Amino acid sequence: MSDAFELVAPPTTPPLDPGFRPAVLANRVFLEAVDQSGEGVDVRIALERGDGSVSVFDTRAFAPDSAGAGANLMYAERLVKFLLWQRGGYRVIIGGHEQIADHIAAVYAADGERAFDWDFMGGVYEKQFTVESVALEDAPEEQDTTMALGRHLDGCRVGFDLGASDRKTSAVIDGESVFEEEIAWDPRNQSDPSYHYEGILHSIDRAIEHLPRVDAIGGSAAGVWINSRVLVASLFRGIPEDQFDAQVKDIMLRIGREKGVPIVVANDGEVTALAGSMSLEESGVLGVAMGSSEAAGYVTMDGNITGRLNELAFAPVDYQPGAPEDEWSEDRGVGALYFSQQAVGRLAPVAGITFDDDPDLPVLLERVQEMHEEGDERAHSIFVTMGVYLGYTVAHYADFYDFRHMLILGRCTSGQGGPTILGTANDILAREFPALADRVNLMLPSERLRRVGQAIAAASLPEID
């Protein structure tokens, strides 16, 4: 038996990416090989977050002394990577497999290949990131909790959604939007925090102009937000660390104090899922927004949210060695490069689409979408490729989430791109994952909800006292 981790070519090949090797297929082939070998052992991966909550994922691997043990290393490293960004944690406990624990500890270290993740998770939870090995029977049990989010529709509210290329704002009266606006901005390349503060305040004030009064403000933004404080976010990545700590972490609480109303800000993925749950009047919703990056959120089967990160932009979906590299984390094959403007940007030249003026990604996306509307086959192939990515990734996500509905939003789904992505993904699910296709409703919301739905749902976050 080979100790190499087997990568699996998908039955449906993305037209612009023949090297694509879906995570879901490789993981399933690995687990089948473990079970068939007769040399498999149980492994528990537990992740502890700053509040003491613990998420547990049980799996199988080859015994350390078996012929296939070498394949354990890539399987476990990619699995831990996914779990860290799905669930979060500063402490990883590997139960039942010291070989795997030693490998994870070496890779997720200050001088390891995943130094970015080591530093990021330690910063989020403000604790030293560690990896520990314990006997299987000593591994922690699940200690996760859920909580209610939003759904407050009374009064006069402002909702906003902060993206990397625009700010979306809504003025909402008793659950009905009376004003919506999108304003372009460039927060990631700004080093002066006043740029962000003044931009956010401007959008909020524009919405307030359309209300008889303001009772509450709710916001949606990328990054890790705890109690409406931002701990890490790409929107503020250009700001020096000392200024970030002094002027950015509490930027939303400052705005709330100045306006004299309650303010609640949550991760944009969570608000994506909330928007879908509210519009469907259903629970068990996984929401994915394909905008400047990939944002994800999850509403549980009982209608609540978890304390997990759900930052799937950094979670691996493609295992091919030559997968595109994320410029921030320096990892390959992660979701942001497959479900965002970044995907369109990297696939356009492969499709033969180039522009002499080298437009930035939001403009490039708009041009490709216009070409798609006009019947350009090169543009069409970009969205088909993204649809193939999505089909296999929905199956991958289903190994980690329990959901009935998966809602796709964001600028990449505007126009005909969304139906093309969705139709391609649904075809793959029907052919290759029929049981999942029968259980999960993969859908697009209305065009209006796709573009501003997060801002409207965000307005429902605060409870008015």
The predicted structure's pLDDT at residue 1: 43
Is 16 domain-assigned? no
One domain, residues 300 and 417: yes
Task: Look at the alpha carbons of 59, 60, 63, 69 in this order and tell me if their dihedral is positive or negative.
Answer: negative
Cβ–Cβ under 8 Å, residues 294 and 312: yes
The predicted structure's pLDDT at residue 241: 86
Type of residue at 110: A
Is 7 domain-assigned? no
One domain, residues 209 and 92: no
Strands 294-299 and 224-226 come out as unpaired
Is 223 domain-assigned? yes
Bridge partners of 134, per DSSP, are 95
The predicted structure's pLDDT at residue 448: 55
Is 281 domain-assigned? yes
What is the spatial distance between Cα 248 and Cα 442, in angstroms, rounded to a whole number? 37
Q: What is the pLDDT along the chain (465 residues), one digit of tens a residue?
A: 456 899 999 999 999 999 999 999 999 999 999 999 999 999 999 999 988 999 999 999 999 999 999 999 999 999 999 999 999 999 999 999 999 999 999 999 999 999 999 999 998 888 999 999 999 999 999 998 888 888 898 999 999 989 888 899 999 999 888 999 999 999 989 999 999 999 999 999 999 999 999 999 999 888 888 888 898 888 998 999 889 989 999 999 999 999 999 999 988 888 888 888 887 788 999 999 898 889 899 999 998 888 888 999 999 999 999 999 999 899 999 999 999 999 999 999 999 999 999 999 999 999 999 999 999 999 999 999 999 999 999 999 999 999 999 998 888 998 999 999 999 999 999 999 999 999 999 998 765 555 556 678 899 999 997
What is the spatial distance between Cα 204 and Cα 218, in angstroms, rounded to a whole number? 10
Is 11 domain-assigned? no
Q: Nearest-5° angle of CA 56, CA 59, CA 61?
A: 140
Alpha helices in 129-232 (DSSP H): 193-208
One domain, residues 103 and 153: no
The position carrying tokens 């999850």 is: 298
Domain that holds residue 370: 276-455
One domain, residues 286 and 305: yes
- Of 270, 288, 312, which residue sits at a domain end? 270
The predicted structure's pLDDT at residue 451: 52
One domain, residues 161 and 244: yes
Region class of 284: left (phi > 0), else alpha (psi between -120 and 50), else beta: left
- Of 270, 295, 321, which residue sits at a domain end? 270
What is the spatial distance between Cα 458 and Cα 454, in angstroms, rounded to a whole number? 6
The predicted structure's pLDDT at residue 70: 96
Task: Give CA separation, 433 vs 36, 123, 287, 404, 423, in Å.
Answer: 22, 38, 20, 15, 15
Alpha helices in 214-340 (DSSP H): 241-243, 251-259, 268-280
Is 265 domain-assigned? yes
- Of 144, 176, 205, which residue sits at a domain end? 144
Is 12 domain-assigned? no
Is 5 domain-assigned? no
Greatest Cα-to-Cα distance within the chain, rounded to the nearest angstrom = 72
The predicted model scores a pTM of 0.87
The predicted structure's pLDDT at residue 274: 87
Type of residue at 229: R
Strands 405-409 and 441-443 come out as parallel
One domain, residues 236 and 299: no
The predicted structure's pLDDT at residue 392: 98
One domain, residues 389 and 329: yes
One domain, residues 138 and 153: no
One domain, residues 294 and 430: yes
- Edge-to-edge strand list for the sheet holding 130-134: 54-62, 40-48, 91-95, 130-134
Strands 91-95 and 130-134 come out as parallel
Region class of 212: left (phi > 0), else alpha (psi between -120 and 50), else beta: alpha
What is the spatial distance between Cα 10 and Cα 329, in angstroms, rounded to a whole number? 26
- Helix (H) / strand (E) element for 218: namely strand 216-221
One domain, residues 239 and 321: no
* Structural tokens at position 178: 């009376």
The predicted structure's pLDDT at residue 123: 86
Closest CA to 456 of 238, 274, 236, 303: 274
Q: At 162, which CATH number?
A: 3.30.420.40
One domain, residues 136 and 85: yes
Per DSSP, 143 falls in state B
What is the spatial distance between Cα 74 and Cα 320, in angstroms, rounded to a whole number? 12
> What rounded mean pLDDT belongs to the chain?
93
One domain, residues 301 and 426: yes
Domains held by the chain: number: 3
The predicted structure's pLDDT at residue 145: 82
